[in-house]
Structure 1
Amino acid sequence: MTYEYRFERILTLKEQEKEDMQEQYKSSVSKFQEAAEQLYGALKKKETLEAMQVEKLSTGLSILDIRHHQQFITNLEKTISYFQNLVVQARNRMNWYEEKMIEMNMEVKKYERLKEKDFKAFLVRLQAEENKQLDEVSVTQYMKQEVR
């Protein structure tokens, strides 16, 4: 008598879904990191540019250069705003995948626990059947000895 778990296909499917969700989560984490690095780069660039502008203002700067720097900083602020939105979206997506991954883990664990309980019940049934067969053999041997 071999053990067969009746929900094996479901368990396999849930494990596959869990693995897929883990891959999607990893992908969302890397996209979040990329967006955060781009935001960091833009913020660093703005900080450097503002420090350079303050330094040049102390030594003297033409109005045209000031306008040019201000326009560049304005464009950089728009870029920063874009990257901030991108980071927020990526973080939200990453958190959503993390929640789904946790749900999938819990679901797989439920099926694994069911499998463990089912296997234990199978072992109990198997042991009971073996005991029954041993009893039958014992009774048969006893009857043969009585007949002699």
Structure 2
Amino acid sequence: MQYQYKFEKILSIKEKEKNDAFSKYSEALKQFEEAAEKLYKLLKKKEDLHVFQQEKLQAGLSVQDIRHHQQFMENLENIISHNQKAVIDARHRMNLFQEKLMETNVEVRKYEKIREKDLKKFIDHNKFLENSQMDEISIQQYLAGASR
């Protein structure tokens, strides 16, 4: 007798859901990393620009150049602010997909655990039947030998 898991189709569906959740999580993680890297570069650029501006101020700058640098810094701040929101959104999205992945992983493990228990029960039942048949054969051989 061959083993047939009664929830095999459900398990395969759950595994597909898990794989889909993993791919979505991976994509969200990639997007988060890209957004964080972009924000890091902007913050680094701001820091470098601030150091450059301090050096230029000590050397002496015209009012026009100071205004220009201030305007550039304000624009950079706006871009940084926008990118910070993008990083927060990307992190939130990544966390949602991570939770979904963990949920689907738990579901798959539940069905796998059920399958393990069911398979063990099936094997134990087959061993019991086999032992019963062996006992029956032994009894018949004994009775056949005793009747001679």
Q: TM-score, normalised by structure 2?
A: 0.93
Deviation at 1:128, TM superposition (A): 1.4
Letter paired with 2:135: D
- Deviation per CA, 1:33-87: give whole Å up to 9, x if none: 1001110111111111111111111121111111111111111001000110010
In 1, Cα distance between the equivalents of 2:124 and 2:37? 58
Please give the secondary structure, in 2, of the residue aligned with 1:6. coil
- Structure 1 residues 71-82: aligned runs within 5 Å: 71-82=71-82
Q: Partner letter of residue 125 of structure 1?
A: H
Structure 1: 5+ residue stretches without partners: none
Quote the sequence identity (%): 51
Q: For residue 134 of structure 2, what is the aligned residue in structure 1?
A: 134
What secondary structure is seen at the aligned counterpart in 1 of 2:44? Answer: helix
Gaps of 5+ in 2: none
Give the drift of 1:132: 2.1
Q: What CA deviation, in whole Å up to 9, does each residue of 1:109-141 have, x standing for no partner?
A: 111110110011001110111122222222332
Q: What residue in structure 2 maps to residue 90 of structure 1? A: 90
Is 1:20–2:24 an aligned residue pair? Answer: no
Aligned residues: 148
Instruction: Tell me the C-alpha RMSD between the 2 structures.
Output: 1.3
TM-score (norm 1): 0.93
Aligned: 1:31 with 2:20:
no
Alignment of 1:108 with 2:119, yes or no, is no
Cα offset, 1:144, TM superposition: 2.7
